[in-house]
Amino acid sequence: MEAEVRLFCQILDSIQDDYILVVNQERRIFYVNKPFLEHFRYQRDEVIGKLCYEMSRPFHEPCTAAQGQCPLENTLSLGITQKTTLTRNWEGRKLSYEAMFYPLKEDGRVTPHMVIGVFRDITTKRQLEQELRHRLEFESRLIRISIDGIVANDRQGNILIYNEGAQKILGYQPEEVIGKLNVAELYPPGLAREIKKKIYQDDFGGAGRLENFETTLRCQDGSLVPVWLSACLIYEDSQEIGVVGFFRDISERKRLEERFLQNKRLAAVGQMAAHIGHEIKNPLMLIGGFAQQVQRSASLEEKDQRKLQIIQEETRRLERFLTDLGSFTRVSTPHKVPGKIILLLQEVAEMMESSFKEQKVKFCLQPPPEVPVFSFDPGQIRQVFLNLFKNALEAMPAGGQLTVKIEVGDHDIALIIADTGQGIPPEVQKELFSPFFTTKEKGTGLGLVISRQIIEQHQGEIAIESEVDRGTRCIIRLPLTNQQNLYRRPI
Ligand code: ADP
Ligand code: MG
């Protein structure tokens, strides 16, 4: 028996990585292996026969049987194997151990007569795990807060990652997408397949990659959003397991680009119009002037008088058109001076008073108690009010009400010009700001374009909302402070 015990102890000593402790029923230490002594820096006779909770070094955790917190407790009393994690501070470091307690039982007995404790230092493993966890958390935070949309999907298209950027651009909540939607549903029909093909091709950033490709995605509400999309295949052990896509909303950029192009086109049209206008104006005045002179001669028949009258009316109309064209080409940098916008509105309303009366249109100005003085070009803004009031009048041939409301914000002022006229059908609304677009027999289609040019030169915005048969609201926003001009018209 002695020999067997010795052999048993030798076996325990030869186990290098585990620190082994054998205790008896009374928790007295029966044996500790060599690695245990070396690791915890004990001499064998310092520990053998001692109560295990009297050992001061191994673990700082309460280890007293009296408190019922001994990690061996269940193994000792119930005879079951138990696993636990223990820590201790050693030379300024926090060490972690995984401990297993095995009962040594005699046949048929529930409680053991010995317990073998096997400790393994898992500090490094713990640290690595923690570092890995931190890194993963950091990476997933980066993904989550990225301004770009990030969506990753497996080979079947099931979405696995969907970040805040994507949520902002597409509108879906993560829980509506992850594991629920197929990535193809984020594209207009058929587009996902084409994009996938492009990823495999060489031409768009290399095989397995797609770089800054301009395309469209479909939002939750069905609207389409233009994006720059980059994507690449994800591999694990050289096996393709999915695709990750990064996309950036470029609708604002596109809007500015389009506006820039439109302004450029406008500038070109404007130059041509100025040239044509210059050539036509003088002969037109002559025609009108002569027609007037001839009409005065009494010898003419009434029929011919009427014709001359028409010549004069039409030349006047053409002259007005040329004046409009002129102001369209001349919208230049505004000469802003501090002024009271209400006075200007009242002035324009007075100018048009007789037309309002004639057409049974009630004019109603609704300013707040205080409207700050701010800088604008009175000549240009007067023109805007004239254009908009005229449009409102023309939309109310049977009378109505023209209301101007003013709302003062922290940084800007809103002027809302609302009529109770015929309204604008949706298909017409898209065209409102195209030069020469008109639905009127004698319209020029320049009023709104000129108005927008002027407002944008003031770093403001103009928008139109309308409902057929109910009326139209024209909302102008002007900054109360100076800002950079985003829409400077190209020369
Ligand atoms: P014009 O008045 O010469 O037609 P505008 O640029 O001023 O040119 O207006 C363009 C078009 O927009 C008009 O022909 C009309 O169809 C529509 N529109 C503008 N303002 C209104 C309004 N207040 N109510 C109804 N339609 C409007
Ligand atoms: Mg008009």
Q: What CATH number did the domain enclosing 45 receive?
A: 3.30.450.20
Residue 473 lies in a domain: yes
Residue 319 lies in a domain: yes
Q: Cα 422 from chain centroid?
A: 37
Residue 135 lies in a domain: no
- Helix axes 378-394 and 341-351, enclosed angle (nearest 10): 50
pLDDT digits (tens, 9 = 90+) for 317-359: 888 888 877 776 666 788 899 999 999 999 999 999 999 999 9
CA distance 143 to 361: 58
* 473 lies in the same domain as 349: yes
Residue 491 lies in a domain: no
pLDDT at 18 over 50: yes
Which domain does 49 fall in, by range?
2-121
Please identify, among 279, 297, 329, the residue that sits at the C-terminal boundary of a domain: 329
The DSSP result for 309-371, as a single string, is HHHHHHHHHHHHHHHHHHHHHH--S---EEE-HHHHHHHHHHHTHHHHHHTTEEEEEE--S--
pLDDT at 125 over 70: yes
Residue 127 lies in a domain: no
SS3 assignment, position 270: helix
pTM of the model: 0.55
**Ligand 1, pocket-test mutation among 323, 361, 396, 448, most atoms within 8 A of CB:** 448
pLDDT digits (tens, 9 = 90+) for 400-455: 999 999 999 989 999 999 999 999 999 999 889 888 899 998 888 889 988 998 99
Q: Cα 364 from chain centroid?
A: 40
* 10 lies in the same domain as 103: yes
Using the CB atoms, write b or e for 321-348: b if 16+ within 10 Å: bbebbebbbebeebebeeeebeebbeeb
* Confidence band for 100, pLDDT divided at 50, 70 and 90: very high
CA distance 72 to 24: 11
Mean pLDDT to the nearest integer, 171-178: 95
pLDDT at 199 over 70: yes
Residue 267 lies in a domain: yes
From residue 279, alpha-carbon distances to 108, 163, 284, 285 in Å are 120, 61, 9, 11
Q: How far, in Å, is the centroid of ligand 2 from the Cα of 323? A: 13
Residue 216 near residue 225 (C-beta atoms within 8 A): yes
pLDDT number for residue 56: 64
CA distance 233 to 449: 47
* 72 lies in the same domain as 17: yes
Q: Across the chain, what does the average pLDDT equal?
A: 88
CA distance 339 to 478: 13
* 113 lies in the same domain as 218: no
CA distance 88 to 121: 11
Low-confidence winner among 242-256, 291-305, 380-394 (lowest mean pLDDT): 291-305
Ligand 2 (single-atom ion) residues, CB below 5 Å: 391, 447
* Confidence band for 64, pLDDT divided at 50, 70 and 90: very low
pLDDT number for residue 331: 65
pLDDT number for residue 282: 86
Burial class (CB in 10 A: 0-12, 13-18, 19+), 367: middle
CA distance 108 to 96: 35
Which ligand lies nearest to the CA atom of residue 397 in the structure? 1
pLDDT at 185 over 60: yes
CA distance 335 to 379: 9
Please identify, among 249, 276, 293, the residue that sits at the C-terminal boundary of a domain: 249
* Confidence band for 312, pLDDT divided at 50, 70 and 90: very high
* 73 lies in the same domain as 164: no
Residue closest to 101 by CA, chosen among 114, 88, 87, 90: 114
* 351 lies in the same domain as 461: yes
Ligand 1 atom at minimum distance from 445 CA: 8
Please identify, among 329, 351, 379, the residue that sits at the C-terminal boundary of a domain: 329
Ligand 1 atom at minimum distance from 423 CA: 25
Residue closest to 120 by CA, chosen among 19, 204, 256: 19
Residue 420 near residue 401 (C-beta atoms within 8 A): yes
Mean pLDDT to the nearest integer, 383-392: 95
pLDDT at 486 over 50: no
Q: How far, in Å, is the centroid of ligand 2 from the Cα of 386? A: 9
What tokens does 254 get? 């596109």
pLDDT at 205 over 80: no
CA distance 431 to 214: 26
* 237 lies in the same domain as 270: no
Q: Tell me if 84 CB under 6 Å of ligand 1.
A: no
Asked whether the CA dihedral 82, 83, 87, 90 is positive or negative, the reply is: positive
* 161 lies in the same domain as 228: yes
Domain count, the chain: 4
Question: Which amino acid is present at 440?
Answer: K
pLDDT at 85 over 70: yes
Residue closest to 277 by CA, chosen among 326, 348, 330: 326
Q: What single DSSP character describes residue 426? A: H
* Confidence band for 485, pLDDT divided at 50, 70 and 90: very low
| CATH at residue 375 | 3.30.565.10
Residue 324 lies in a domain: yes
* 68 lies in the same domain as 192: no
Q: Tell me if 391 CB under 6 Å of ligand 1.
A: yes
* 116 lies in the same domain as 205: no
Mean pLDDT to the nearest integer, 95-120: 88
Q: How far, in Å, is the centroid of ligand 2 from the Cα of 419? A: 14
Residue 404 lies in a domain: yes
Residue 64 near residue 96 (C-beta atoms within 8 A): no
What tokens does 310 get? 């028409």
The DSSP result for 160-198, as a single string, is EEE-HHHHHHH---HHHHTTTSBGGGGSSTTHHHHHHHH
The DSSP result for 442-479, as a single string, is T--S-HHHHHHHHHHHTT-EEEEEEETTTEEEEEEEEE
* 47 lies in the same domain as 183: no
* 239 lies in the same domain as 258: no
pLDDT number for residue 330: 65
Using the CB atoms, write b or e for 243-270: b if 16+ within 10 Å: bbbbbbbeeeeeeeeebeeebeebeebb
**Ligand 1, pocket-test mutation among 325, 402, 438, most atoms within 8 A of CB:** 438
